[in-house]
Structure 1
Amino acid sequence: MLAKKIAVNTIISAAARAVGILLALATIAIITRHLTRNEWGEYSIMLTFGGIFAVIADLGLYQLMVREISRPQADELKITSNIFTIRLLSGLFLFALAPLISLFFPYSEQAKLGILVGMAGFWFLSGGQVLIGLFQKYLQMIKVATAELFGRLVQLGLVWWLVLSGYGFLPIVAALSLGGLANFLLIFWWARHYCRLRLAFDRVYWWNVLQQGYPLAVASILTMIYFSSDSLFLSILKPAADVGIYRLPYKILEGLIFFPAMFVGLVMPLLSRFAQTDREKFKNIFQRASDVLIIFAIPLVAGTLVLSPTIINLLGGGKYNESTAIFNILIVAVGMIFLGTLFSYVLIALGRQKSLLGISAVGAIFNVVANLIFIPRYSYYAAATTTVLTEALVVILMAIMVYRFFRWLPSFKIILKGLLATAGMIAVLWFLSDGNLVLSLAAAAIAYFGFLYLLRGFSRAEILSLIKSGESGAEFTRYDL
């Protein structure tokens, strides 16, 4: 019964997240058509600032909340109230600091005002995010998904109305903040159904939480550096329009990388269970998870290379043709992230999470140095290429660490079958090159998996086995939701 409830929560959450991504892309499509290229660049600068300060404001509190309230006899009210208060106050300070720091950057006055208005939305989203652990404990992630969709719909509706009414840049930024507020209020209201949440100021407990969260916070910040420094350096060294050209396909990338994280999160209970107890079962799960991720990554990358002009035109309204080449570069990084996500979770399952800190540090240093050297000359092309090279470096280092600690890596024989099936898929896409995008995507998916099945890239028995394994391991964790 518990496994079934977890499966239902996971499926609904994934579906809601997919819908949320589509709503976000629809909002972007409206904004890019309404704003000038320079204004979209300034909007992108605001998003970059918000993303950076959201990571800094996390302080490792989300992971700690999940862990602490899931322990037997946990004082849920004390834990939740104190961690929520820390997040609320630290977030208030940091997101208020962001517009002050922006004063020292070479941005326009409008961009700086956009950062001021937009940080309120990121503060609301940050406050709601730390409460998600409470819903995970009670297997109510459906409510979190509903709150996210509600916030997205509020933002989309407001943006649509503002555009029709002829409003400009700052009101559109304010719509993002109001969408964040809607999300936060719904999550907070539902959270109080499970715990009488209140502000709490236990200084001893605060100090203990901050000490425990410090390593997690450092790891997150290092990851953020190599994931976001490109946009930040681009905003400093190049015109705002260049940032907009780069960030348009980057928003798609941010949506796509959710899916490997979701899948590996489902596999994580089994990896954790067998890492120290059954080497052969661990290898089997590792291999099958690797095969699944490769099976999806190859057509995603290849299909994007074919359809990128259509996708960028749909999102940018014909104003951002330069973004097509950037999209083609960045999608290679997405393919690498599919495997990188699995390797990082494997290291955690093996109890070697400290090695991730060093790998993230190497990735961050390489990314910063490369961006500083090449962005002044090659602009967004340098930023995109550096992102791919950084992800490649990080994945290689993680694979080396996995082999060092486990003395084994999965076979990548499935790549050949994936490439052959992808060749058939591309032929179908070429035949439908003048057709509807949705029709092309559906036909491509059917063609790819049809060819892959004929090539025996997967079987019905393997799929059923993986599902049964997931159900049997479902009770070992709740954090994969």
Structure 2
Amino acid sequence: MIHSEYFKKYFVNTSWLFFEHIVRLSVALFVSVYVARYLGPDNYGLLNYSISFVGLFSVIATLGLDQIVIRELVKDRSKRDFILGTTFLLKILGAFLVLILLAIGIQFTSNDSFTNLLIFIIAAGTLFQSINVIDFYFQSRVQSRFIVQVKFWSIMGISLLKIYSIHIEAPLLWFAFLVLVENIILALGFFMIYKSNGLSVLSWKFDMNLAKLFLKNSWPLIFSSIFVTFYIRIDQVMINEILDSKAVGIYASAVKLSEAWYFVPMIISSSLYPAIIEAKKISEDLYYTRLQQLYDLLAIIAIVIILPVTILSDWIIIVLYGQEYIGAGTVLSIHIWAGLFVFLGVARGKWILAENLQTYTFLYTFLGALSNVILNLYMIPLYGINGAAFATLISQFVSVIVVPFIIKETRTSVFMLIKSILLISQIQRLRKIIYLRKN
């Protein structure tokens, strides 16, 4: 298999994606720590609250189309211009809807006018995110190196701007503008790389029938994405409302470190998704064997990350953020365990898409989000930011394991995930190796 052309193609594609994300992780982590130290817990918390509040609504702009578009581009490349053109216009309309909903949503908060200004500056970037349909095209062609180049130079550029902003002692408002600038730079980069490959966005066409088909297939994913975002972002919004912006800043510093690893399952799953689809065409046995191998791989990677972070959480926070953020150590040691369920949930999402079971995604993400809100309401007043971390961990377990187990159609996947968590395949291989050596 290692010498096959398919393996080499997917390995190279995944390597490009990992390179880009590792560089982005390293640079973004360094810069975010620098920014956090400069702004302090209060201002850093206010900035992250604004980003999280926008995040609750901006997910609507994706319309749940991302993986569906990639799937359709893989199936029929001749419809490229219609697929990309239709998706682009739908995303633009979704972005305008986000701005309208934000205008309504802020009426139910205790925000002052300055906080609302931060929110709308950041939200304007949603309009420019629509051009990321170009990213889907290159993913479908397993040519992620082109997108890697764009994202690499984008993160380098915006990181230099943030460092310069700290040097000139820029105000908090300017860092909100930089979030918008980052989206603009990325959109321009996507446009240029698409053009450099001999393609033109002017050839994109809108197809009403295709739009109806996309929305019909994606509506469960729209709501599931909303609920996923809710139990990823709602904690910071609720901490700000129940406690204060300083608590958000301390909590956000831990969450950034915890969630920094979430690119791993997304890259591996997205890059191997075409191979899984091909396996399904060949045989069910090969298809489920590859799925189990994917789950096993991600479970091992998650555990390798989680254990040392749990042990060294206080030391990590002090070294990176300083004594002002010392309370984030306990949060990090709790929140990092949610990553195990995130890793497996992302991988299982590919199975759900391949089996066209998106309707059930809506149900278990809704119940996961609901449990997170209820737990936050109960645990934040009692246990502060540590309670919010526990709420995230429990709600991830509910969404990825408990609810899918209750649903008959998705129960099989839960058994596969539990097998991965318990490292059953690895234990069986180890026993086999020991047996062969003895005999």
Shorter-chain TM range is 0.7 to 0.9
- Aligned twin of 2:437: none
Which of 86, 90, 107 aligns to 2:94? It is 90
Structure 2 runs not aligned, ≥5 long: 434-439
- Contact 2:14/2:268 (<8 A) preserved: no
Provide the identity percentage. Answer: 23
Alignment of 1:98-177 (within 5 A): 98=102, 101-124=105-128, 126-177=129-180
**TM-score (ref. length: structure 1):** 0.78
Shift of 1:326: 0.5
Shift of 1:59: 0.7
In structure 1, give the amino acid aligned to 2:199: C
Shift of 1:350: 4.6
- Aligned twin of 1:426: none
Distance 1:129 1:104 in 2: 31
Distance 1:313 1:103, change over 3 A: farther
- Aligned twin of 1:359: 364
**Which stretch of structure 1 is more off in the superposition, 366-375 or 402-411?**
402-411
Distance 1:62 1:34 in 2: 36
- Contact 1:42/1:111 (<8 A) preserved: yes
RMSD over aligned Cα atoms: 3.1
Does residue 297 (structure 1) correspond to residue 295 (structure 2)? The answer is no
Shift of 1:92: 3.5
Distance 1:365 1:405 in 2: 24
- Aligned twin of 2:235: 230
Shift of 1:178: 1.3
- Contact 1:60/1:214 (<8 A) preserved: yes
Distance 1:7 1:137 in 2: 15
Distance 1:261 1:394, change over 3 A: same
- Aligned twin of 2:330: 325
Alignment of 1:31-430 (within 5 A): 31-72=35-76, 74-95=78-99, 97-98=101-102, 101-124=105-128, 126-192=129-195, 193-198=197-202, 203=208, 205-269=210-274, 271-274=276-279, 278=283, 280-282=285-287, 284-397=289-402, 398=404, 404-405=411-412, 409=416, 411=419, 415=423
Shift of 1:17: 1.0
In structure 2, give the amino acid aligned to 1:376: P
- Contact 2:401/2:414 (<8 A) preserved: no
Shift of 1:349: 4.2
- Contact 2:221/2:358 (<8 A) preserved: no
In structure 1, give the amino acid aligned to 2:192: W
**Which stretch of structure 1 is more off in the superposition, 342-351 or 143-152?**
342-351
Shift of 1:362: 1.7
Distance 1:403 1:195, change over 3 A: closer
Distance 1:5 1:302 in 2: 32
**TM-score (ref. length: structure 2):** 0.85
What SS does the aligned partner of 1:74 have? helix
Shift of 1:377: 3.4
- Contact 1:414/1:457 (<8 A) preserved: no
Distance 1:68 1:158 in 2: 38
- Contact 2:57/2:102 (<8 A) preserved: yes
- Contact 1:249/1:323 (<8 A) preserved: yes
1:325-377 Cα distance to aligned partner (Å, 9 max, x none): 10011011112323333444344445544332221122122112222233233
Distance 1:347 1:208 in 2: 18
Which of 8, 11, 16 aligns to 1:12? It is 16
Does residue 23 (structure 1) correspond to residue 38 (structure 2)? The answer is no
Distance 2:419 2:206 in 1: 52
- Contact 1:250/1:327 (<8 A) preserved: yes
Distance 1:407 1:215, change over 3 A: closer
Shift of 1:173: 1.6
Shift of 1:7: 2.3
Distance 1:229 1:411 in 2: 31
1:171-226 Cα distance to aligned partner (Å, 9 max, x none): 12212221221111010122234532137565555444433432221221122222
**Which stretch of structure 1 is more off in the superposition, 259-268 or 53-62?**
259-268
- Aligned twin of 1:438: none
Distance 1:176 1:134 in 2: 25
Structure holding more helix per residue: 2
What SS does the aligned partner of 1:319 have? helix
Shift of 1:379: 2.8
In structure 2, give the amino acid aligned to 1:358: L
1:247-291 Cα distance to aligned partner (Å, 9 max, x none): 111122322122123233455455545558645445543443343
Distance 2:116 2:421 in 1: 51
1:442-473 Cα distance to aligned partner (Å, 9 max, x none): xxxxxxxxxx9xx95998xxxxxxxxxxxxxx
- Contact 1:305/1:328 (<8 A) preserved: yes
What SS does the aligned partner of 1:60 have? coil
Shift of 1:35: 0.8
Distance 1:196 1:282, change over 3 A: closer
Distance 1:8 1:458 in 2: 31
What SS does the aligned partner of 2:178 have? helix
Distance 1:155 1:73 in 2: 34
